[in-house]
C-alpha cells in the first residue's frame, strides 16, 4: 500500500466540533440502474426509458442521493470503522443523470462516547440543495489506516452497436428477401419484425395455411400476398434461389429449415449463385464490454479451411466490416500462441495471411497474426507480451483456425458473456441470413440490417452514414 493509497480515520477522541469533509460525485444513468437492481425499486420516474423514446431525464431516487453521505462518513470523516446509528434528511432539488454533486459533512455535536452527530448537505453545481439533514454515527475508537481498494468491476450494457446498425439500415429501401420456410413463431416473427422496421421486403416461402395461423398469434403487420406457397423444404430452397436468379429478391433468410438445405441449394452448380469466392459465415458480436462490434469467422460453414479458403474467409469478413462503416478493419488471425510455431499449422497460415495482406492479395483491412485471443482484443495483454502491432489489442475481426474454435468462441461470448450475435453467409451472389433456431427476434433483426448494409455496399462501394440520435442501451 503506497502513501497515496492510504486513508487514515479520525477517532472519537480526535474529532472536533466543526471538523468537515466533502467529496464530489457525478450522477449517471448506471447509478440509477444499479440502485434499482439493489433495491428492487423500478419506479419508471427513476429509470431511463426502455423503448427508445425520447423522454425527460429520469430523476435519481432520494435515498440514492442520501446514501452518498455515507461515502464521506465511511471513507473520510470519521472514516474506517464508522457505524451509522440514525439519520434525518430533507430532500429538495431533484437530481438527474449528468448532475455534479458536492457531498459535505460537518461535525456539530459529540455525545456520549462514541456517538457523534454530523450535519450533512448534498448540493448541485448551481448551489441548489438536493439533500440536507443530520446523521448520527458511532465514531471509531481506534486508529485505522486503510487502502483505497478498487471495487470489483460490474458489466453493464454500455454499448448497443446493433441499434446503430439497424438505424443505418432503416435509412435504405427495404431489401427484397426470400424467407425460407418460416413456419414457426421465432422465424416468422423475426421476418415480420424486420419488415415492420423497414429492413426487408419479404417473400415468405412455405406452407401458406400454417404461416397464416402463426401470423395471427405474432401481432405484427402481415399480408398474405407476401406468401409463396411451397410443399417441402427442398421446393422452398429452390424457389428462394430461383427468385434471386431473376432479380426478384436480393437476399435469403433462413427460417425453420436446416442450414445445409439452404447452402446446398445455393452452391448447386446449376443455381448460378456461386462466385469466385469461397462462401463463409461471419458473426457480428455486440459484446457489452466492447466499444466496437466484433466480427468472428468462420464459425458455421467451413469445417477445416485450408489457406486458400482462409484468404476468402478473411476477405469476406473485411467486406462486411467495411459495409458496417469500419473504414479499414483490423483483422486478428487467431491461434493458441502469438508466435510462429511449425508444430501448430494455424500459426503458419496466420503469418502467411498477414504477409498476403501486406502484398495486396487481401484488400481493405490490416491483417496480423498469429495472435492469441487475449492479445488480439486486450491492449494490456498485448503490451505485457511486447507485441508491436497495428491489430493487437484492437482487432475488429477475429479469424478462427477452424469451425470448432470459431463456434465455441461465438457461443461463449453469447451465452456466457451476454453478447448478442447476428450473422451472414457471404461469398455467394447475395447475402444469406443463416439465423439459428435459438436466435431471438433481435438477432434476426440485426442480421437483416447486416444484409441490407452489405447489399448497399456491394452496389455502391460505400457504407451508409451513421444515423443520428441513436439511443444506447444504457440510455434506454
pLDDT value at position 50?
57
pLDDT value at position 430?
96
Which domain range does residue 48 map to?
A: 6-147
**pLDDT at position 473 over 50:** no
**pLDDT at position 439 over 90:** no
Cell numbers describing residue 309: 479458403
- Is 440 within the bounds of a domain? no
Cell numbers describing residue 252: 435469403
List, for residues 274-293, the tens digit of each pLDDT value: 999 999 999 999 988 888 99
Phi, psi torsion values for 292, nearest 5 degrees: -150, 160
What is the mean pLDDT of the segment spanning 64-77?
95
Would you list the DSSP string of 292-349? S-EEEE-SSS-SS--HHHHHHHHHHHHHHHHHTT-SS-EEEEE-SSSS--TTSHHHHH
Q: Are 187 and 204 in contact (CB under 8 A)?
A: no
188: DSSP letter: H
pLDDT value at position 332?
98
**pLDDT at position 155 over 90:** no
pLDDT value at position 245?
93
pLDDT value at position 49?
74
List, for residues 189-236, the tens digit of each pLDDT value: 889 999 999 999 999 999 999 999 999 888 888 999 999 999 999 999
**pLDDT at position 13 over 80:** yes
355 C-beta neighbours (distance < 10 Å), count: 13
The single residue listed with the C-alpha cell 446493433 is: 162
- Is 180 within the bounds of a domain? no
224 C-beta neighbours (distance < 10 Å), count: 10
pLDDT value at position 57?
84
Give which of 208, 209, 202 is closest to 226, Cα–Cα. Answer: 202
Give which of 394, 272, 279, 381 is closest to 332, Cα–Cα. Answer: 394
List, for residues 358-404, the tens digit of each pLDDT value: 999 999 999 999 999 999 999 999 999 999 899 999 999 999 999 99
Cell numbers describing residue 362: 487481401
pLDDT value at position 157?
62
What is the mean pLDDT of the segment spanning 142-171?
81
**pLDDT at position 68 over 90:** yes
Give which of 162, 191, 54, 50 is closest to 467, Cα–Cα. Answer: 162
**pLDDT at position 1 over 70:** no
Q: Are 473 and 160 in contact (CB under 8 A)?
A: yes
What is the mean pLDDT of the segment spanning 155-166?
78
Phi, psi torsion values for 323, nearest 5 degrees: -60, -25
> β-strand 330-334 against 366-371: which pairing, if any?
parallel
Look over the chain and give the mean of its residue pLDDT values, rounded to a whole number: 91
> β-strand 227-229 against 200-206: which pairing, if any?
parallel
Cell numbers describing residue 130: 438536493
**pLDDT at position 475 over 90:** no
Of 397 and 49, which is predicted with more confidence?
397
CB contact burial 294-315 (16+ within 10 A = b; e otherwise): bbbbbbbbbeebeeebbbbbbb
- Is 445 within the bounds of a domain? no
The single residue listed with the C-alpha cell 469533509 is: 21
Q: Is the peptide bond before 351 cis (omega within 30 degrees of 0)?
A: no
Quick one: CA dihedral 380, 386, 390, 392, positive or negative? Answer: negative
Q: How many helices (H) does the chain have, and how many strands (E)?
A: 13, 18
Q: Are 452 and 200 in contact (CB under 8 A)?
A: yes
Of 228 and 49, which is predicted with more confidence?
228
Q: Above pLDDT 70, what percent of the chain?
A: 93
pTM for this model (two decimals) = 0.74
Q: Which residues contact 442 (CB under 8 A, 6 or more apart)?
A: 162, 420
**pLDDT at position 468 over 50:** no
Q: Above pLDDT 90, what percent of the chain?
A: 80
Would you list the DSSP string of 195-254? HHTTSEEEEEEE-HHHHHHHHHHH-S---GGGEEE-SSHHHHHHHHHHHHHTTS-SEEEE
Would you list the DSSP string of 349-364? HHHHHHHHHHTTSS-S
Q: What is the CATH number of the domain that holds 56?
A: 3.10.129.10
- Is 465 within the bounds of a domain? no
pLDDT value at position 467?
53
pLDDT value at position 471?
36
- Is 356 within the bounds of a domain? no
Phi, psi torsion values for 232, nearest 5 degrees: -155, 175
Distances (CA, A) of 348 to 306, 310, 375: 11, 12, 18
Give kind and range of the element (H or E) at residue 280.
Answer: strand 280-286
In angstroms, the CA 273 to CA 251 distance is 11
What is the mean pLDDT of the segment spanning 73-99?
95
**pLDDT at position 469 over 70:** no
- Is 13 within the bounds of a domain? yes
- Is 296 within the bounds of a domain? no
Between 148-152, 182-186, 266-270, the lowest mean confidence (pLDDT) is in 148-152
**pLDDT at position 437 over 70:** no
The total number of structural domains that make up the chain: 1
The single residue listed with the C-alpha cell 440536507 is: 132
In angstroms, the CA 65 to CA 93 distance is 11
pLDDT value at position 411?
92
462: DSSP letter: S
pLDDT value at position 54?
40
The number of residues making up the chain comes to 476
In angstroms, the CA 134 to CA 264 distance is 74
List, for residues 305-335, the tens digit of each pLDDT value: 999 999 999 999 999 999 999 999 999 999 9
Q: Which residues contact 412 (CB under 8 A, 6 or more apart)?
A: none
pLDDT value at position 82?
96
- Is 141 within the bounds of a domain? yes
Cell numbers describing residue 77: 470523516
Amino acid at each position: 500500500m503506497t502513501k497515496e493509497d492510504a486513508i487514515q480515520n479520525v477517532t472519537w477522541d480526535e474529532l472536533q466540533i466543526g471538523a468537515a469533509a466533502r467529496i464530489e460525485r457525478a450522477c449517471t444513468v448506471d447509478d440509477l440502474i444499479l440502485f434499482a437492481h439493489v433495491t428492487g425499486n423500478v419506479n419508471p420516474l427513476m429509470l431511463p426509458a426502455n423503448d427508445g423514446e425520447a423522454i425527460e431525464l429520469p430523476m435519481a431516487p432520494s435515498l440514492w442521493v442520501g446514501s452518498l453521505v455515507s461515502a464521506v462518513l465511511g471513507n473520510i470523516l470519521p472514516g474506517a470503522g464508522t457505524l451509522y446509528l440514525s439519520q434525518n434528511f430533507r430532500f429538495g432539488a431533484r437530481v438527474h443523470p449528468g448532475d455534479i454533486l458536492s457531498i459535505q459533512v460537518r461535525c456539530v455535536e459529540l455525545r456520549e462516547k462514541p456517538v457523534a452527530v454530523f450535519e450533512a448537505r448534498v448540493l448541485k453545481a448551481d448551489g441548489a440543495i438536493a439533500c440536507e439533514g443530520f446523521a448520527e454515527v458511532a465514531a471509531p475508537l481506534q486508529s485505522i489506516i486503510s487502502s483505497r481498494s478498487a471495487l470489483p468491476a460490474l458489466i453493464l450494457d454500455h454499448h448497443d452497436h446493433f441499434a446503430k446498425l439497424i438505424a443505418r439500415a432503416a435509412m435504405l429501401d427495404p431489401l427484397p428477401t426470400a424467407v425460407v420456410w418460416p413456419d414457426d413463431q421465432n422465424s416468422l416473427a423475426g421476418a415480420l419484425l424486420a419488415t415492420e422496421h423497414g429492413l426487408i421486403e419479404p417473400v415468405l416461402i412455405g406452407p401458406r395455411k400454417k404461416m397464416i395461423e402463426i401470423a395471427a398469434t405474432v401481432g405484427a403487420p402481415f399480408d398474405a400476398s407476401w406468401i409463396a406457397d411451397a410443399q417441402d423444404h427442398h421446393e422452398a430452397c429452390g424457389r428462394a434461389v430461383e427468385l434471386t436468379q431473376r432479380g426478384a429478391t436480393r437476399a435469403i433468410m433462413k427460417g425453420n429449415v436446416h442450414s445445409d438445405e439452404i447452402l446446398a441449394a445455393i452452391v448447386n452448380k446449376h443455381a448460378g449463385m456461386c462466385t469466385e469466392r469461397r462462401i463463409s459465415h461471419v458473426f457480428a458480436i455486440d459484446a457489452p464490454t466492447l466499444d466496437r462490434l466484433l466480427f468472428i469467422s468462420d464459425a458455421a460453414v467451413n469445417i477445416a479451411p485450408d489457406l486458400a479458403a482462409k484468404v476468402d474467409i478473411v476477405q469476406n469478413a473485411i467486406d462486411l466490416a467495411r459495409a458496417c462503416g469500419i473504414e479499414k478493419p483490423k483483422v486478428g488471425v487467431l491461434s493458441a500462441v502469438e508466435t510462429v510455431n511449425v508444430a501448430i499449422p494455424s500459426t503458419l497460415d496466420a503469418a502467411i495471411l498477414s504477409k498476403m495482406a501486406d502484398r495486396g492479395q487481401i484488400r481493405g483491412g490490416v491483417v496480423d497474426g498469429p495472435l492469441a485471443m487475449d492479445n488480439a482484443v486486450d491492449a494490456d495483454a498485448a503490451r505485457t507480451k511486447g507485441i508491436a502491432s497495428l491489430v493487437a489489442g484492437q482487432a475488429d475481426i477475429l479469424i478462427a483456425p477452424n469451425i470448432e474454435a470459431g463456434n465455441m468462441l461465438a457461443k461463449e461470448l453469447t451465452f456466457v458473456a451476454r453478447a448478442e450475435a447476428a450473422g451472414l453467409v457471404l461469398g455467394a451472389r447475395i447475402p444469406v441470413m443463416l439465423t439459428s433456431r435459438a436466435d431471438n427476434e433481435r438477432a434476426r433483426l440485426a442480421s437483416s440490417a447486416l444484409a441490407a448494409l452489405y447489399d448497399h455496399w456491394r452496389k455502391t462501394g460505400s457504407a451508409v452514414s451513421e444515423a443520428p440520435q441513436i439511443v444506447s442501451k444504457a440510455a434506454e
